[in-house]
């Protein structure tokens, strides 16, 4: 890997001027390793009987992985808040619509 | 191979267009985030449909009997690592390192191909075991959900390879680092959708 790819990536400040953050190649690798470890943990607990906490634990681990990618790999944590708004609108609307639909079809009953 | 600046110079007309917006933000990037937000609704519908119908199957061709968790776990890990290589491509692009940008883009595409290859193998195995698209409501919803995701990954691979070639032949107009970032956003989205599918479809038993 050349010297250049080790350069620090600096995201542009937002309109609010509050998002100036530096992330290096090493940081990205650490984040990826954490994601890999969580995936391993998910698979491991799917083979173990841990009772009622099984599904909530898997959902929490899924959410951690999801938002880690969104915030750090997609840079939403450091980028302008308008981008977050556009994405989270869709992300929030989808479960709202479909959980309502599933309720009407008595999925949870 | 020489490094070439990915960012346009001060006289590049496209660069001026990028920043001349009422919000001061890139319209291209805003459009991509809006598109990804709308994609949440598409995949939300497909995942909900699967959740509704995953118990509607006959005999021993249900999710608990047919899934190969170790195999899918490896595929998931491969796709997850492709997000790392993608973010390294974006990082290299922002650092004006064209050579490494192309290298990471190609590696990302190869990892994506590995994932799609695994999905084709999985579908073929299921089909040979008797699980066709119209076998049950479970199979229809499963193939539709994972198939749609696979098509998204395939489109992403095409975008990555096309972008690599366009960078090689200097055919990318405007802010090249931003173009790499936009393709990266799409790729990461494909990854986060799989994070949800892997847990809800494969790991949580029906």
In this prediction the ipTM stands at: 0.88
Q: Is residue A42 part of a domain?
A: yes
Q: How far apart are the first and last CA of chain B?
A: 53
B111, B163 Cβ separation under 8 angstroms: no
Beta bridge partners of A9: A23
The pLDDT value given to residue A12: 44
The tokens 């790729």 sit on which residue? Answer: B187
pLDDT-derived band at B88, boundaries 50, 70, 90:
very high
- Residue A106: its pLDDT value, please? 85
Residues A26-54: tens digit of each pLDDT: 999 999 999 999 999 999 999 998 989 99
pTM of the model: 0.87
Q: Which residue, among B49, B178, B192, B205, would best test binding to A if mutated, counting the most A CBs under 10 Å from its CB?
A: B192
What mean pLDDT do residues A8-14 have?
45
Q: Which has the minimum average pLDDT: A12-21, A67-76, B52-61?
A: A12-21
User: Which has the higher per-residue pLDDT, B178 or B14?
Assistant: B178
Question: Cβ of A100 under 8 Å from any chain B Cβ?
Answer: no
Structural domain includes residue A93: no
DSSP labels, B156-197: HHHHHHHHHHHHHTT---S-HHHHHHHHHHHHHHHHHHHHHH
pLDDT of residue B6: 56
For residue A76, what are the CA distances in angstroms to A27, A66, A82, A92? 16, 12, 10, 16
pLDDT-derived band at B155, boundaries 50, 70, 90: very high
At residue A23, the pLDDT reads 84
Region A15-35: mean pLDDT is 77
Helices within chain A (DSSP H only): 25-45, 54-68, 81-104
Residue A16 makes CB contacts below 8 A (sequence gap 6+) with A80, A81
Is residue A96 assigned to a domain?
no
Q: What percent of chain A has pLDDT over 90?
A: 66
Residue A41 lies in a domain: yes
CA-based torsion, A15, A19, A25, A29: positive or negative: negative
Q: Which residue of chain B comes nearest to A79, CA vs CA?
A: B25
Using alpha carbons, list the distances in angstroms from residue A56 to A38, A53, A62, B86, B201. Answer: 15, 5, 10, 30, 15
Task: Give the whole-number percent of chain B exceeding pLDDT 90.
Answer: 81
Whether A60 is covered by a domain: the verdict is yes
Q: Looking at the domain assignment, is residue A69 inside a domain?
A: yes
CA atoms within 13 A on the CB side of B110: 7
Residue A99 within any structural domain of the chain: no
The dihedral built from the CA positions of residue B85, B90, B91 and B93, taken in this order, carries a sign that is positive
Residue A43 with chain B: CB contacts under 8 Å: 69-70, 73, 203
pLDDT of residue B19: 55
Number of structural domains (chain A) is: 1
Neighbours of B86 (CB within 10 A): 32
Domain ranges of chain B: 13-203
The CATH number of domain B13-203, selected from 3.30.1360.120, 1.20.120.80, 2.20.25.240, 1.10.520.10: 1.20.120.80
On average, the pLDDT of chain B sits at 90
Q: A63: domain range?
A: 4-80
**What percent of chain A lies above the pLDDT cut of 70?**
81
**Binary contact (B204, A66; C-beta < 8 A):** no
Give A51-79 as a 3 state SS string: HHHHHHHHHHHHHHHHHHHHHHHCCCCCC
Share of residues in chain B with pLDDT > 70 (%): 90
- Residue corresponding to tokens 């390879």: B161
| Overall average pLDDT of the B56-85 stretch | 93
Question: What is the arithmetic mean of pLDDT over A8-25?
Answer: 54
Residue A92 lies in a domain: no
Q: Is the pLDDT of residue A21 over 90?
A: no
Which of A6, A15, A40, A73 to probe the B interface (max B CBs under 10 A)? A73
């Amino acid at each position: 890997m050349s010297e250049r790819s080790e350069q620090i990536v600096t995201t542009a400040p937002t309109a609010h001027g509050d998002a100036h953050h530096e992330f290096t190649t090493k940081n990205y690798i650490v984040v990826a390793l954490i994601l890999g470890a969580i995936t391993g943990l998910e698979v491991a607990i799917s083979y173990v009987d841990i009772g009622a906490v099984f599904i909530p634990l898997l959902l929490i681990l899924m959410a951690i992985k999801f938002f880690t990618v969104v915030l750090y790999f997609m840079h939403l944590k450091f980028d302008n808040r308008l981008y977050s708004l556009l994405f989270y609108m869709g992300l929030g609307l989808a479960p709202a619509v479909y959980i309502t639909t599933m309720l009407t079809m008595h999925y949870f009953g | 191979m020489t490094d070439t600046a990915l960012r346009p110079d001060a006289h590049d007309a496209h660069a001026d267009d990028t920043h001349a917006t009422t919000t001061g933000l890139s319209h291209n990037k805003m459009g991509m985030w809006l598109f990804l937000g709308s994609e949440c609704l598409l995949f939300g519908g497909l995942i909900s449909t699967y959740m509704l119908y995953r118990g509607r199957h006959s005999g021993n061709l249900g999710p608990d009997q047919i899934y190969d968790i170790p195999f899918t776990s490896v595929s998931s890990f491969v796709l997850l690592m492709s997000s790392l290589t993608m973010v390294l491509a974006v990082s290299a692009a922002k650092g004006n390192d064209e050579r490494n940008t192309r290298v990471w883009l190609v590696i990302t595409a190869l990892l994506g191909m590995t994932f799609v290859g695994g999905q084709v193998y999985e579908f073929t195995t299921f089909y040979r075991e008797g699980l066709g698209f119209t076998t049950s409501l479970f199979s229809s919803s499963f193939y539709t959900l994972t198939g749609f995701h696979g098509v998204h990954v395939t489109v992403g691979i095409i975008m990555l390879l096309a972008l690599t070639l366009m960078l090689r032949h200097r055919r990318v107009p405007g802010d090249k680092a931003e173009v790499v970032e936009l393709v990266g956003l799409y790729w990461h989205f494909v990854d986060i959708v799989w994070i949800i599918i892997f847990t809800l479809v494969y790991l949580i038993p029906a």
